[in-house]
Amino acid sequence: MSSNKKLTLSIVIPVFNEEDYLEDCLISISKQSVRPDQVIVVDNNSTDLTTKIAQKFPFVTLLHEQKQHQSFAQKTGFDHANSHILGRIDGDTILPKDWVRDVKNIFKTDSSLLAITGLPDPYDVSTKGVAVAIFMFYHNLASRLAGSQMLWGANSAISKKAWNMISHKVLQRPDIWEDYDIALLLNDKKKIKYVDNLYVNCSFRSIHKSLFKQIEWHLRAVRTFYLRKPKIRALLFAFCWSTLIIVYPLVLVDSLILRINFYVRYRQRKAIEAPAPSE
């Protein structure tokens, strides 16, 4: 990318039944100090009010992808985007007001970059510091095992040039992690950058799923490595990733604390709403 050329940025958001989150996400985009040049919401067969919410925002281009999974929806959005930089977030992501400005500046400062990624600031866990520390430990572990910086789909961006190089190679199947797939395809530890001050507010709702769902979900990461890396390295990744099972008791504790906090707030609200006793 030429440093004297005005860089454009498209934000791509694959969504499936995000009626509880998408409006806050799009409001955060509307409040950016530097507006994105394009916002693409790719509906992946939602059955709730997701598409109606997207249509309320005039700056949104709404696309539809019938093949079910983020890997398909993401490719549809990236292929349609026409900016120099393709920002990628989730429907539950809430952007800080300078996210677009910061992403553009990062790519402008280093024209050799292929992609960047940042960190999460979750709003629905009771032990945020612990949750982020665990997330980053395993994210960094995956990067070390891959020999290249992994991307996190809820807070990342890739140059359109880099996407055009790999778009015909990305895995189009529902049992992989599409963000890890992109990173493993790019496979360049010098040109994929982790930016430690690039954060987004987001949901960690996936950690509150059942143990079976957790295992199935994380097996997708293992499968992505297996399909992209030598088998010995994929086996090492699978062994290291299996240690996530020790985190599950913390998830149960977190879920319990959230339920208790919800109950307390519910009782407090009911107490406020209750009519005063008659004399």
Q: How many domains does the chain have?
A: 1
Confidence of residue 174 (pLDDT cuts 50, 70, 90): very high
**Domain-located, residue 155:** yes
Q: What is the mean pLDDT of the chain?
A: 90
**Domain-located, residue 215:** no
| Cβ burial, residue 62 (10 Å; 0-12/13-18/19+) | middle
Q: Is the pLDDT of residue 2 over 50?
A: no
Mean pLDDT, range 30-43, rounded to an integer: 98
**Domain-located, residue 19:** yes
State residue 253's pLDDT score: 73
State residue 260's pLDDT score: 60
Residue numbers of the domain that contains 74: 9-207
What CATH number did the domain enclosing 13 receive? 3.90.550.10
**Domain-located, residue 223:** no
More reliable by pLDDT, 170 or 255 = 170
State residue 141's pLDDT score: 97
**Domain-located, residue 220:** no
Mean pLDDT, range 91-112, rounded to an integer: 97
State residue 272's pLDDT score: 54
Listed ranges 215-224, 254-263, 270-279; the one with the highest mean pLDDT = 215-224
Which of 60-69, 82-91, 205-214 shows the lowest per-residue confidence on average (mean pLDDT)?
205-214
**Domain-located, residue 270:** no
**Rounded to an integer, what is the distance from CA 155 to the centroid of its chain?**
5
